[in-house]
């Protein structure tokens, strides 16, 4: 996974004294770090470089366009010839220590990105999405639907402040909902397609949030909310926006796949079409059954068998769902459609 200069800077300043010497536009994603060598292809790459390396870089024809340079020594010459972004590490550390720390950062994000893909392709939940951010983000995340029901949220929310704004059924408290629906500025946020900032006055002060709406066919269905720490600096806000943007890419695909935040509804919906076909003695394709089985965590030995009953007028048709389990034990249940 490529990381932006702001993400890299955010993690570097957690451990070292770092400053920007030069920023190039636009801000792009950078590949894993390398040590500078003459004639090395460094486009789109994080490059660890010392004073001698800077001298060679400036004297060469490759001036590092679309590269991020991390200088382990303060530059003693003009950087006008360098086309890329330059940061200076002011802390006293070896280039190898810096390299290893950067590798840890990239490993962390690669694992997160892999987990997001796993959640999507293996039919994970929106709670799984939020839980996956624990190693990436310290700020709590909430997902609220259009009925002000909290469908998923960070574990830290429940430990710290859930009683302040949600009831035992995970619905927003009436007084909180009333504050929102009577706030004209809040109402205007429903149509915003991009990530936006929102501030709300509370008894403890001003609560700052970064949000992203979820839409389905241009209609608002919910919102991701990330609560900021008091006095968050701009670099922290930029980092949160970046994380939310990447998280939302998978979240949006997951909603389009499920058409719901509630996975119990999803399981029932996916079964409806093939089971209706069974009742009408029509065959569904193997691919369709495989998709249904995967979405409902059925095993390959699960068997569906329809039994024709003469329906009672006004009553639905019935079928029997037979599920095979290890040691040839079976269980059956009647389901109406």
Count of domains observed in the chain: 3
Q: What is the pLDDT of residue 243?
A: 98
Q: Does 94 share its domain with 190?
A: no
Residues 96 and 169 in one domain: no
pLDDT one-digit tens code per residue, 136-182: 999 999 999 999 999 999 988 866 555 567 888 888 888 878 877 77
Q: Which domain holds residue 234?
A: 123-258
Whether 113 is covered by a domain: the verdict is no
* Residue 170 Rama label (left phi>0; alpha psi -120 to 50; beta): left
Residue 18 has phi, psi (to 5 degrees) of: -135, 145
- Please tell me the predicted confidence (pLDDT) of residue 335: 44
Q: Clarify whether residues 174 and 282 are in a common domain.
A: no
**Same domain assignment for residues 239 and 131:** yes
pLDDT in tens, 214-239: 999 999 999 999 999 888 899 999 99
Per-residue model confidence (pLDDT) at position 248: 98
Domain end call among 258, 274, 290: 258
How many helices (DSSP H) and strands (DSSP E) are in the chain? 11, 14
Residues 238 and 301 in one domain: no
| Residues 201 and 224 both lie in one domain | yes
Residue that finishes a domain, picked among 258, 281, 314: 258
Q: How far is CA 18 from CA 13, 74, 87, 241, in A?
A: 6, 11, 7, 21
The answer to whether position 277 is within a domain reads yes
* Pairing mode, strands 205-216 and 219-227: antiparallel
Tokens standing for residue 205: 């002060």
Model confidence pLDDT, tens digit, residues 27-67: 789 999 999 998 899 999 999 999 999 888 888 877 777 89
Whether the CB-CB separation of 21 and 71 falls below 8 Å is answered with: yes
- With respect to residue 117, please indicate whether it lies within any of the assigned structural domains: no
Lookup result for tokens 């024709």: 308
């Amino acid at each position: 996974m490529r990381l932006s200069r702001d993400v890299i800077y955010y993690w570097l300043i957690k451990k070292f004294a770092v400053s920007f010497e030069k920023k190039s536009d636009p801000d792009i994603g950078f590949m894993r770090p390398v040590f500078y060598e003459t004639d090395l292809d460094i486009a789109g790459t994080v490059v660890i470089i010392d004073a001698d390396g800077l001298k060679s870089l400036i004297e060469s024809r490759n001036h590092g366009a679309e590269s991020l340079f991390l200088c382990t020594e303060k530059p003693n010459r003009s950087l006008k010839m360098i086309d890329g972004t330059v940061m200076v590490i002011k802390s006293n550390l070896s280039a190898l220590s810096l390299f290893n720390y950067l590798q840890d950062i990239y490993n962390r994000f690669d694992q997160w990105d892999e987990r997001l893909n796993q959640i999507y392709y293996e039919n994970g939940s929106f709670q799984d999405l939020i839980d996956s951010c624990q190693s990436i983000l310290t700020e709590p995340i909430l997902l609220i639907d259009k009925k002000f029901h909290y469908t998923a949220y960070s574990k830290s929310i429940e430990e710290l402040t859930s009683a302040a704004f949600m009831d035992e059924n995970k619905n927003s408290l009436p007084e909180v909902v009333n504050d929102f629906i009577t706030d004209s500025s809040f109402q205007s946020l429903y149509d915003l397609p991009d990530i936006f900032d929102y501030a709300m006055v509370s008894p403890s002060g001003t609560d700052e949030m970064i949000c992203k709406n979820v839409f389905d066919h241009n209609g608002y269905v919910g919102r991701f909310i990330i609560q900021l720490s008091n006095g968050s600096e701009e670099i922290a806000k930029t980092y949160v926006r970046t994380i939310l943007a990447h998280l939302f890419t998978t979240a949006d695909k997951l909603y389009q796949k499920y058409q719901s935040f509630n996975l119990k509804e999803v399981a029932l919906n996916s079964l409806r079409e093939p089971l209706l076909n069974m009742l009408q003695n029509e065959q569904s394709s193997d691919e369709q059954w495989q998709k249904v089985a995967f979405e409902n965590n059925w095993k390959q030995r699960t068997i569906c068998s329809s039994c024709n009953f003469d329906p009672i007028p006004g009553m639905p048709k019935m079928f029997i769902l037979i599920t095979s389990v290890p040691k040839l034990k079976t269980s059956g249940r009647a389901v109406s459609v």
